[in-house]
Structure 1
Amino acid sequence: MTIDIKPIDPVSRAFFAGEVSGIDLTRRLSDAEVAAIHAGMDRFGVLVFHDQHLTDDQQLAFSRQLGPLETATGDIAAPEERRLSMDVNDISNLDKHGKVVARDDRRRLFGLGNLLWHSDSSFKDVPAKYSLLSARQIPATGGNTEFADMRAAYDALDEVAKREVHDLVCLHSQIYSRGMLGFEEFTEAERQKWAPVRQRLVRRHPATGRLSLYLASHAGGIEGWPVPEARAFLRDLTEHATQRQFVYAHVWKPFDLVMWDNRVTMHRARRYDPTEVRDMRRTTLTNEVSSLEQAP
């Protein structure tokens, strides 16, 4: 088979979200296949692979062919509560025994932050590059994932707005995003772990040169701005960036694997019946350097 990548919506959104065929991610890829995936990511920002019956080890092996991974330290579960290795993010509603967690479980309430628009690991000094999410078991309805093209959102700003945002630096923390939902019960160790970090509001893609907005619900301030003004401004930008013309909504099928570039997208999960199993496994490539080291 020969790898092929086509736009999912060639009429309305030919530039965003591609569907990949002609590749089996359970085996080691050739250098040409790896290069094609990177090129597809540069073009589309989001890639969808269907019918990829991956184990965790196979997902890790595929991910490592694309670049170095970050450690899965973004959730609130204690080490003894984890059911997966520290290389795999457990994006599920299951405990370590494979049982659905209670509706008021602290881990579930913290995880509801995934329903907000965000970019993975923007709350880390060195944020995420690619995220790779594998659907192992999905609910009967709901639980879709939406992706917003932050390149197109930047392009659609007027010139005055582009000048205003170009050099701004934001402060990101999971304390901010969870606080939006009323989740504020953090330990002192967690508050230190998620102390705010600095990220550029505008990023230039190192391969394509395109500029994009770097937004997330984790962004709770702008350096040099009063907090209320900063948050109102960031909310306006998020409303602009998540207009329907910029958004691809992925309806999951079992064993889909979806990749996205956190440097040029935001995403959010959608609600589903909390009594049904939603078992998703995410591996995440690190960006290797801070956004502050990549001048726009």
Structure 2
Amino acid sequence: MPAIQITPLHPLFAAEVRGIDLRERVPEPVFDEVNAAFGRYAVLLFPGQDVTDEQQVAFSQRFGPLEPLESYGRKDRSRLQGHISDMSNLDADGKLWDPNSLKRLFNLGNRLWHTDSSFKHVPALCSLLSARSDPPPEGGGTEFTDLRAAYDALPPGMKARIDGLVVEHSIARSRELVGYTEIDPELNKRLPPVRQRLVRVHPGSGRKTLYLASHASHVVGWPLGEGRALLAELMEFATQPRFVWGHSWTLHDLVMWDNRCTMHRALPYDDLTYQRVLHRTTVSEHANTLEQLERAEEGA
């Protein structure tokens, strides 16, 4: 069996993986290599993977249960069904979206630094994004930041200050930041605001990491303004260029990232002229971050 090639893409994290065909079931020894690399690098690029939705789902499920699709109040119909999220700028008929499309306004939130599904009681473990079109001539890339490295670089006083803090996350918070007000009134019943740890241990590497996102609203138990100022300070620190790797998409790229220790954001492009078609699968964690801490302490 030929060995896979793993090439680092950044001094701190992110790597390219070659010598693997995700259209077929990956043998266990090879999958173990991929999983180990994922634990170390947190972001993996698999170039040249012309996968179908079914093949993407099959590979994704090797990492855990997939999140079902969720409606956030958009009235636009989706092109895709099942566990595949449509991260394109196309409407349900495959045409470029309308300038006033609710989907377009909602997706502006993806240009903010975030980690997927931190606003869910059980957040996301990882996401896998597959490029199904040629990229636009300018822009449209995705940036990632390593929150483990950012935590390591914090001054000791800041580490002591944030140790043990709990933060409330909600989808309404991030969309509020881009002016999206069409959240389904029933959404808070399905996805009420949740509490997550601000500092956690990343299972894949055993390193401490920040857990940040534009979905993070405030620090529980702190005055609103003071908590939001702290979160803004940490977001600014964690997204310095030294912690960031940017990817320019090519047709059939597949990128997976660890939502437990990274943030990402989509970069702008001329979305009313050029198609940008990406399909995403998202794997759930097994428990809320606070529940994970409780279980770890009980087992200690």
Q: TM-score range by the shorter chain?
A: over 0.9
How many Å separate the matches in 2 of 1:156 and 1:145? 23
Q: Which residue of 2 aligns with 1:277?
A: 275
Q: Deviations over 1:151-207 (max 9, x none)?
A: 000001111111111101111111000111122233311343342111100110224
Give the whole-Å Cα distance in 1 for the aligned partners of 2:73 and 2:27: 37
SS in 2 for 1:33: helix
- 2:99 aligns with one of 77, 97, 103: 103
Inter-partner Cα distance in structure 2 for 1:150 and 1:109: 27
Mapped to 2, the partners of 1:252 and 1:116 lie a distance apart of 18
Of 19, 22, 28, 2:19 maps to: 22
> Is structure 2 residue 217 aligned with structure 1 residue 220?
yes
Q: How does 1:1-296 map to 2 (within 5 A)?
A: 1-9=2-10, 13=11, 15-73=12-70, 75-77=72-74, 81-137=77-133, 138-275=135-272, 276-295=274-293
Rounded to whole Å, the distance in 1 between the matches of 2:185 and 2:116 is 23
Q: How much does 1:292 deviate?
A: 0.8
* 1:168–1:201 Cα contact (<8 Å) kept: yes
Deviates more, 1:127-136 or 1:193-202: 193-202
Equivalent position SS for 2:209: strand
Shift of 1:76: 4.2
User: Contact 1:18 / 1:44 at 8 angstroms: preserved in 2?
Assistant: yes
Using structure 1 for the length normalisation, give the TM-score. Answer: 0.94
User: Tell me, which stretches of 5 or more residues in structure 1 are unaligned?
Assistant: none
Partner SS for 1:266: strand
Amino acid at match of 1:59: Q
State the distance in 2 between where 1:175 and 1:31 align: 40
| 1:74 Cα deviation after fit | 6.1
Contact 1:175 1:194 in 2 (8 A): no
**Relative to structure 2, which stretch is displaced further, 65-74 or 237-246?**
65-74
- Amino acid corresponding to residue 157 of structure 2 in structure 1: V
After superposition, the C-alpha distances for 1:230-269 in whole angstroms (9 at most, x for unaligned) are 1111001000000000000001111100010000100000
Q: Is the 8 A contact 2:64 2:285 kept in 1?
A: no
Q: How far apart, in 1, do the equivalents of 2:89 and 2:231 lie? A: 30
Taking a change above 3 Å as real, the CA distance of residues 64 and 185 of structure 1, as seen in their structure-2 partners, is closer
Asked whether the 8 Å contact 1:126–1:290 carries over to 2, the reply is yes
User: Kindly, what percent of the aligned residue pairs are identical?
Assistant: 48
Question: In structure 2, what residue type is equivalent to 1:94?
Answer: L
**The structure with more strand, counted as a fraction of residues:** 1
**Residue 173 of structure 2: SS of its match in structure 1?**
helix
1:207 and 1:230, CA in 2 relative to 1: closer, same or farther beyond 3 A? same
**For residues 151 and 62 of structure 1, what CA distance do their matches in structure 2 show?**
26
Contact 2:144–2:264 (CA under 8 A) maintained in structure 1: yes
Contact 1:131 1:285 in 2 (8 A): yes
**SS, match of residue 61 in structure 1:** helix
Q: Offset at 1:126? A: 0.2
TM-score computed with the length of structure 2 as normaliser? 0.93
For 1:47-70, what per-residue CA distance to the aligned partner results, in whole angstroms no more than 9, with x for missing partners?
A: 001010011011011111222211
Contact 1:204 1:210 in 2 (8 A): yes
One-letter code of the match for 1:83?
Answer: R
Give 2:278's aligned amino acid: M
Moved more, 100-109 or 210-219: 100-109
